[in-house]
Amino acid sequence: MKRWVSKKYQMDTEKIANRYQISEIVAEVLVKRGLFDWDAMDGYLFPDMEKLHDVKQMKDAVRLIEILEQKIKQKKRIQIIGDYDVDGVMASYILYRGIRTMGGKACCRIPHRIQDGYGIREYMVTEAYRAGVDTILTCDNGISAGAAVEKAKELGMTILISDHHEAPKEEGHEKLPDADAVVDPKQSACQYPFKNLCGAGIAYKLVACLLRRNGMEPQEELLACAAIATVCDVVPLLGENRIIVTYGLKCLENCSNEGLRALIQGLQLQNKISSYDLGFRIGPCINAAGRLDEAKKGFELLTETDAGMAQKKAYELIQLNEERKVYTAKAVRKAIASIESEGILHDKVFVLYLEECPESVAGIVAGRIREQYYRPVLILTNGKEGLKGSARSIPEYHIQKELNQCQDLLTEYGGHAMAAGFSLPKRNLEAFRKRLNGNCQLSEEALVETIYFDKEVALGEMTEDIVRQLACMEPYGEGNDQAVFARREVEIVSAVLCGKENQVARVQLKDGMRLYSGVDFQCEEHLGAGICGRYGEKAWEDIKNARGTDYKVDILYKPSMNQKYGGVQFQIVDCR
């Protein structure tokens, strides 16, 4: 059973409510988002493009822009080297479009997930040199590419780094590549006030400055691309990121990019596009190209100017994403079967070798298993040499630090607290599993997931007006979750299952004397688990077969407006 927690703060909700003409319920939610003064609340409630920081405050940004201007004027060939995920593809397109708008000779290299791996490599530099490239510009990678940068300098090339990852350290000191310019707000010498931009966010700010210095405004489609990447790269949707996504979503409503427009139409996103659509509909289609084919297909969609061809390319990405879903579901089922049958159910760290799992979906599978069992999960598959793995962790377990303790067993590894990638010889697999679990200091309490809710509110108190006011919190995402409320002793009057695998339940809820519409998109994990835990499995079967009555549960819910029928709808997110 998950742990339900609500944070307590001293606050004058009446004063906040009066200032913004909102409900005290909404006022309390805002405070619980860490907004403790008027400036913070004003910035959150009224995001403004004018409040973006000047990119010139970013170390080496002016130098990078000046070098680009010079290379464009000299008609030098500039190659952008990005990454195979959404952030890397979007950042690459933003830089490509900006340089081309200036009349520059830009080309792009999107690495292949399997053949190239992450980041710029020495052979990519050599290939670019032989193709007549004068300048290499990275995005969403490069801060760790010391060898590749050194190769470029040996060949007499100009190399510019734009990245957003942590700089590597050697004996406690940063080890930066010796490039002509290194733009990364996370390097210690950078005084830029906001450190959490994604790669495309940095690319957008560089291009916007480049164009404005030359009397042009950045195209709206570039801000839309930055917004997609910001949501998909799971950076905090606060500060500058909140501004970028808010305005980027508006740009998507009348998008001028043929490829994006075709993808939006192909996904049938007819209503107002939300951050959810970016993270769970549009982004996965771009990512699917890199997972099952070549990431450059996502880039090629963005550069397509013919409407007919854009539709064909968008359809291909949508189909690839459907294939990716099938591969993922199959691998998740096999992972669960392994956990249940191989005697590792009581391990605190799950290390699973899935022989037939595509390397490109291992990270997604690890995330799904982590959600179900709430513990660190490492999924290993067959690589070109030995095994390759993806890890997803929980807040109490710093996966990169734990991998540090297994260096002697690994071929290579990298990542951060919550996610990592690694490889190792197959013969080391069992020793690796034993080492991780032997070193693990997680308590049983730490393996119980905590869900934070904002306030206990009766369903009848959650009016349409309050739900509309809560919309001021959008766009939702990392660091800015949708508001969650609690209600005790709600009666489950009926539940009708639907969806491809009967995973969705349309529910009638009774609170007091009134009935309310509810939905549970993972009904077995939420509503089913709650009913079974309180009344037994037969009660849940009775409810599903329209035989159950008078079953009361406590629920956590998210309120929203029912777009089809009107009124407030209550989405169940946990139950006990």
Check if CATH label 3.10.310.30 holds for domain 342-447: yes
Extract the tokens encoding 427: 């013969």
Q: How far apart are CA 238 and CA 90, in angstroms?
A: 20
- pLDDT recorded at residue 548: 67
Q: How far apart are CA 222 and CA 225, in angstroms?
A: 5
Residue 570 near residue 462 (C-beta atoms within 8 A): yes
Residue 225 near residue 90 (C-beta atoms within 8 A): yes
Instruction: Give pLDDT tens digits along the chain (576 positions).
Output: 899 999 999 999 999 999 999 999 999 999 999 999 999 999 999 999 999 999 999 999 999 999 999 999 999 999 999 999 999 999 999 999 999 999 999 999 999 988 888 899 999 999 999 999 999 999 999 999 999 999 999 999 999 999 999 888 887 789 999 999 999 999 999 999 999 999 999 999 999 999 999 999 999 999 999 999 999 998 999 999 999 999 999 999 889 999 999 999 999 997 789 999 999 999 999 999 998 889 999 999 999 999 999 999 999 999 999 999 999 999 999 999 999 888 788 999 999 999 989 888 999 999 999 999 999 999 999 987 899 999 999 999 999 899 999 999 999 887 788 888 899 999 999 999 999 999 999 999 999 999 999 999 999 999 999 999 999 999 999 999 999 999 999 999 999 999 888 899 999 999 999 999 999 999 999 999 999 999 999 999 988 888 767 799 999 999 999 877 789 999 999 999
- Indicate the domain borders of the chain: 55-218, 342-447, 455-575
Q: How far apart are CA 200 and CA 198, in angstroms?
A: 6
- pLDDT recorded at residue 209: 98
Extract the tokens encoding 100: 């081309």
Taking Cα atoms as reference points, which of 138, 134, 91, 132 lies closest to residue 119? Answer: 138
Residue 124 near residue 116 (C-beta atoms within 8 A): yes
Fold for 55-218, please state it. Answer: inorganic pyrophosphatase (n-terminal core) (3.90.1640)
Residue 145 near residue 134 (C-beta atoms within 8 A): no
Taking Cα atoms as reference points, which of 532, 523, 529 lies closest to residue 502? Answer: 523
Q: Quick check: do 55-218 and 342-447 share a fold?
A: no
| Helix, coil or strand: residue 106 | strand
Q: What is the four-CA torsion angle of 163, 169, 172, 178, rounded to 10 degrees?
A: -80
> What is the 3 state secondary structure string of 339-397?
HHHCCCCCCCCEEEECCCCCHHHHHHHHHHHHHHHCCCEEEEEECCCCEEEEEECCCCC
- pLDDT recorded at residue 546: 81
CATH class of residue range 455-575: mainly beta
